[in-house]
Amino acid sequence: MSPPLLTGMIAVNSVSKFYGSVVAVSEVSFAIDQGVTALLGPNGAGKSTLFRMLCGLTPASRGTLRVLGEDPRRDRDVRGSIGLVPQQDALFDHLTATEFVAVAARTQGVDAVDIDRVVRWALEQVDLHDVGFKPVGQFSKGMRQRVKVAAALVNDPQILVLDEPLTGLDPVQRRRMIALFHRLGDEGRCVLVSSHVLDEVARLGSNVLVVAQGRLIARGDYRDLRELMDDRPHRIRLGSSDPRRLATALVGHGLVSSLTLHDSHVVVETLDVDALGRQLAPIAVDLGVRLDEVHSLDDDLESVFRYLVEGR
Amino acid sequence: MIDETASASLSAYPAGVDRSPVGAFDGLAVSYRLVLGQMRSTGRIVALLLLSMTATIAGFAVGSSESATVDQAAAVIANLGFAVVLPVVCLVFAGGAIGDLRDDKTLVYLWLRPMNRWPIVVGAALASLTMATPIVLPAIVAAAALTGVGNGLTIATLVAGIVGLVAYTSIFTMLGLWLKRHIVWGLAYILIWEGFIALGGRGVAQFAIRTYTRSILDDRTGADLAEADFSTATAIIVPLVVGLAALTLASWRLSHQDVD
């Protein structure tokens, strides 16, 4: 007996996508509702293909996708309820930011008398209202990303599909954009954001979908995922003026379970990363050793996938 | 989780904003304006102007000859103006009208909108017509006038030029949407199909647009052009119907194709 169909503002049931013999997405199922959901996966994992199917830009080879209960490939009207920020850095470069967002508003059916108002609002949300008169061809990558977000917001869509929207943003704009996504989610919209950066996903929200090699390999609360990760040794690179003395002291305090010594740094493994974090600086001060670097080697996405997929 | 500082200047969506279905004219106007803006390239325009001027120069050369006949003049217009200049200029603009949007991945901004596909296609075709017409038409009409064989050829060239522009821009708009290497395929169509195979007899010739533009010249001036046997009415109606069919097919294709 086949499992019951999932339902939600976005419902994906056993969806696969093939390009010839290449499997881009394989048997993916999930349903999400209002709020921010992060889709986490390395480059080439199938995130963009999944997003394209959700927007109706390409059909699923197998399975069903529903957005607000409709098939986005067949139902043109439901596509008017989707705001997409595509991953590619492609804009109509001859248009100003105001014109670009106005085109989006007009083609989404916003009444002519309201267009100026909603365009100004959308540009304010992404902090571009002061440069709306400039052609987008003159914008930096971060500004171009923000223009795409403004265009996606301009018709107040219920569904926002944002493919790597934080790429190219400076830290201030990144914080602002994340706050914007949360507010949109809190207001009842379904916000699906993809990223390949673990740190970004930690800030984006608690609800996470993890994809790798076209498959959905984990889903749930980000903190659960993090705790799952915390059950295994963490690898940390410590750069210092005297890595040998530092490593000896850390072993003496029982803070590390194993280590690898290099000329300018030591890579340690610890089961209690919090204790190490608390005691590392005092130990270094006591030894008179200068700490140059403390870098977690496990916070990169590849290590998450290695753990989830391969269990190591 | 929300960063209060970062969210300080964010505000709710404006109240009382209404939405209504996107009308065909709105879709067409947006498509027209976007495609026209994307097409404006000084280098491309200058190169195509130079190509068009070869027809004008050829017309002037014929007119400079004391023994120029209407047959010779019509042959120059048909074989250079309508067989090379006009289709190549249309190919460059119309082939890229939607093809370039697809290739540079901006098509998604039109495709994802809740509106009919045909206004997007027609808007793009009209934009390419807007670009191609001032480059081609003055050049070939001037060529006809400069041959000095009379107003009949000039008016016939004007009529045939308009018919050819509409037909070729429609066909190449469809081609650009359908095929990734539209310039290569378009040149193959112009040079191999229309320029070679279609000269192989009336049966094949009726599947080439140039047969109809030639027929208009032939019928209106009395010139003796090969493979130009249609009446003016037929030679106007058939290419326009073909153009309409091409735009219909392009609209269908746009509805069903994958978009990046």
**Chain B residues inside the 8 Å CB shell of A175:** 3, 5-6
Please indicate if any CB of chain A lies within 8 Å of the CB of B43. no
Please indicate if any CB of chain A lies within 8 Å of the CB of B15. no
Strands (E), A53-92: 62-67, 82-85
Asked if the model's pLDDT at residue A301 lies above 60, the reply is no
Q: CB–CB of A111/B22 below 8 Å?
A: no
To test the contact with chain B by mutation, choose from A49, A75, A76 the residue with the greatest count of B C-beta atoms within 10 A, namely: A76
Question: In the block, which residue shows the tokens 């000329």?
Answer: A263
**What pLDDT, on a 0 to 100 scale, did the predictor assign at position A112?**
92
Please indicate if any CB of chain A lies within 8 Å of the CB of B258. yes
A:30-59 residues touching chain B, CB 8 A cutoff: 52, 55-59
Please indicate if any CB of chain B lies within 8 Å of the CB of A116. no
Asked if the model's pLDDT at residue A290 lies above 70, the reply is yes
Question: In the block, which residue shows the tokens 């969506």?
Answer: B13
Q: Please give the residue of chain B at the shortest CA–CA distance from A94.
A: B37
Higher-pLDDT residue of A220 and A192 is: A192
Question: In the block, which residue shows the tokens 């046997």?
Answer: B229
The CATH code of domain A232-310 reads: 3.30.70
Please indicate if any CB of chain A lies within 8 Å of the CB of B6. yes
B:57-96 residues touching chain A, CB 8 A cutoff: none
Q: CB–CB of B7/B87 below 8 Å?
A: no
- For A298, residues 6+ apart whose C-beta sits below 8 A from its C-beta are A229, A234, A235, A236, A304
Q: What ranges do the domains of chain A cover?
A: 10-228, 232-310
pLDDT over 90, % of chain A: 59
Could you tell me which of B181, B26, B168, B17 has the C-alpha nearest to residue B99?
B181
Q: What is the three-class DSSP state of A37? A: strand
d(CA B64, CA B48): 25
- For A124, residues 6+ apart whose C-beta sits below 8 A from its C-beta are B9, B11
d(CA A95, CA A93): 5
Q: Is the Cβ pair B1, A124 closer than 8 Å? A: no
Question: Using only C-alpha atoms, what is the Rg of chain B?
Answer: 22
Asked if the model's pLDDT at residue B233 lies above 80, the reply is yes
Question: Using only C-alpha atoms, what is the Rg of chain A?
Answer: 23
The amino acid occupying position B102 is R
To test the contact with chain A by mutation, choose from B35, B112, B118 the residue with the greatest count of A C-beta atoms within 10 A, namely: B112
Q: Is the Cβ pair A92, B111 closer than 8 Å? A: no
**Chain B residues inside the 8 Å CB shell of A110:** 17-19
- The predicted model scores a pTM of 0.84
Ranking A118-127, A268-277, A290-299, B121-130 by mean pLDDT, the lowest is A290-299
Superfamily of domain A10-228: P-loop containing nucleotide triphosphate hydrolases (3.40.50.300)
Q: What is the residue-averaged pLDDT of chain A?
A: 88
Tens of pLDDT along A179-203?
A: 999 999 999 999 999 987 777 777 7
Q: Which two tokens stand for residue A218?
A: 């984990």
Asked if the model's pLDDT at residue B5 lies above 60, the reply is no
In this prediction, residues A92-100 reach a mean pLDDT of: 96
The amino acid occupying position A41 is G
Q: Is the Cβ pair A95, B5 closer than 8 Å? A: no
**Sign, CA torsion B164/B166/B169/B172:** negative
| pLDDT interval class at B8 (50, 70, 90) | low
Asked if the model's pLDDT at residue B227 lies above 90, the reply is no
Please indicate if any CB of chain B lies within 8 Å of the CB of A140. no
Asked if the model's pLDDT at residue A243 lies above 80, the reply is yes
- Bridging pattern class, strands A234-240 and A265-270: antiparallel
**What pLDDT, on a 0 to 100 scale, did the predictor assign at position A213?**
86
Asked if the model's pLDDT at residue B34 lies above 60, the reply is yes
Q: CB–CB of A102/A113 below 8 Å?
A: no
Q: Which two tokens stand for residue B12?
A: 């709710």
**What pLDDT, on a 0 to 100 scale, did the predictor assign at position B146?**
95
**Tell me, what's the ipTM?**
0.88
d(CA B93, CA A138): 25
Ranking A100-104, A146-150, B63-67, B171-175 by mean pLDDT, the lowest is B63-67
Alpha helical stretches, state H, A212-300: 222-230, 243-252, 273-287
Asked if the model's pLDDT at residue A29 lies above 70, the reply is yes
Question: In the block, which residue shows the tokens 């305090």?
Answer: A253
* Sheet strands side by side (includes A35-40): A82-85, A159-163, A190-195, A35-40, A207-212, A215-221
Please indicate if any CB of chain B lies within 8 Å of the CB of A84. yes
Cα-based angle B252, B254, B260 (whole degrees, multiple of 5): 155
Q: CB–CB of B251/B121 below 8 Å?
A: yes
Tens of pLDDT along B163-219?
A: 999 999 999 999 999 998 999 999 999 999 988 887 777 788 889 999 999 999 999
Longest dimension (CA), chain A: 73
Could you tell me which of A121, A234, B105 has the C-alpha nearest to residue A132?
A121
In this prediction, residues B103-118 reach a mean pLDDT of: 93
Q: What is the residue-averaged pLDDT of chain B?
A: 92
Q: CB–CB of B216/B156 below 8 Å?
A: yes
Q: How far is A132 from chain B (nearest CA, A)?
A: 17
